Amino acid sequence: MVNRFRQSVLSVRDQLAWVKQFHSSFDGLASGGTLRCVGWVQPTPLNQIYRVEIRYIYKEIPTAKVRDPELRRRVAGERIPHTYADDEPCLYLPGKRDWGPEKKIAMTIIPWLSVWLFYYEAWLGTGEWQGGGVHPIRES
C-alpha cells in the first residue's frame, strides 16, 4: 500500500523559493546541496530587529544563528537559555520529529526563530525563560 500522505523531501532550491516567497527580508543562495539565507526578523513591533542566518545542508538539520545584534547574557558566565552556542538558539528538540527535510524552513525554522527571539527578550528583562521546552545540554 502506498502512503498518499507522505511528503517528499524539499530540495535546497525549493527551500530557498519558499523562504523568498514568505520572508521578503531574506536573501539566499542554494548551491551544491547547501542553502544559506540571511535576513531580518522582528518578533513584534515592540521587539528589536535581528539579522539572522539560516544554513541548511540537504536532508540534514538546519542551523539558525543570530548575527546582529549579538545575543547577550544577563550576567557574565550565565548561559543564554535554549542555546547551543551564544549565537545559536535551540528552536526544537532534535530526534522528536518536529522538523524534517520535507518541511519548509520558511514555515518552521524562521517562525520558530522569531518566537525564540521574543522569549529571549522577555528573559533579558525578567531572568526567567517563559518559552517552555527542553534546554539542550552543552558539552564542555
Q: Is residue 5 a part of any domain in this protein?
A: no
Q: What is the pLDDT of residue 140?
A: 47
User: How many Cβ atoms from other residues are within 10 Å of residue 41's Cβ?
Assistant: 22
Q: Is residue 4 a part of any domain in this protein?
A: no
Q: Is residue 105 a part of any domain in this protein?
A: yes
Q: Is residue 18 a part of any domain in this protein?
A: yes
| pTM for this entry | 0.89
Rounded Cα distance between 51 and 40, Å, is 5
- Mind giving me the DSSP string for 33-56? TEEEEEEEE-SSTTSPPEEEEEEE
Decide: helix, strand or coil at residue 27. Answer: strand
Amino acid found at 96: K
Q: Is residue 1 a part of any domain in this protein?
A: no
Residue 62 per-residue DSSP state: -
Q: Is residue 3 a part of any domain in this protein?
A: no
Q: Tell me which residue range forms the domain holding 72.
A: 12-126
Q: Is residue 136 a part of any domain in this protein?
A: no
Q: What is the pLDDT along the chain (140 residues), one digit of tens a residue?
A: 455 556 799 999 999 999 999 999 999 999 999 999 999 999 999 999 999 999 999 999 999 999 999 999 999 988 999 999 889 999 988 777 788 999 999 999 999 999 999 999 999 999 999 998 876 565 54
Q: What is the pLDDT of residue 68?
A: 97
CA distances from 56 to 65, 70, 77 (A): 12, 21, 30
Number of folded domains that form the chain: 1
Rounded Cα distance between 140 and 134, Å, is 18
Q: Is residue 137 a part of any domain in this protein?
A: no
CB burial of residue 19 (10 Å; 0-12, 13-18, 19+): buried
